[in-house]
Amino acid sequence: MRVGIATDHGGFALKQEFVTHLRAAGHEMVDFGAHSLNPDDDYPDFVIPLAHAVAAGKIERGVAICGSGVGASVCANKVLGVRAGLIHDHFSARQGVEDDHMNMICMGGRTVGPSVAWDLIETFLAAKFSNGERHLRRLDKVAELERHKSNLEESPATSTRS
């Protein structure tokens, strides 16, 4: 499987370890960075290119790590076609793919230990979408929301800063 991985400083040590593990497991790896430890870097600089590659089908699945995983998840889900989940448990790592067709896993480099994180990634990568009728129906509703959102984005964005 072609897998992409991205992190900021908050998950840099985990990413370095996982790149090696993923290659050893036979996956084709694309490393979106960070390529060096920089405590002042920003997760969007790495997660957004990964999310675009996943959405475009250049990468089958994506792994995004930041300090808590929250920022990476929020950021990735802003990209049309990405279904990213903040995952800390095995059930969600599997079920997110089987039922919700999750294509990116996000986790915290400061919240999940290396052994558990690797187990979650393996679970995520091994899972397959069920194509169940109720899951397809739900995903159609999500796709409709995305279509509606993309039409609204043609208007100027508002800033979150005061």
Distance CA 144, CA 161 (A): 29
pLDDT tens column, 105-144: 999 999 999 999 999 999 999 999 988 898 888 888 888 8
- Residue 35 is predicted with a pLDDT of 96
Q: Are 43 and 68 in contact (CB under 8 A)?
A: no
Distance CA 102, CA 99 (A): 8
Token pair of 157 as six digits = 């964005």
Ordered domains of the chain (ranges, CATH): 2-131 (3.40.1400.10)
Alpha carbons within 13 angstroms on the beta-carbon side of residue 68 total 5
Distance CA 97, CA 102 (A): 5
pTM comes to 0.88
87: left (phi over 0), alpha (psi -120 to 50) or beta: beta
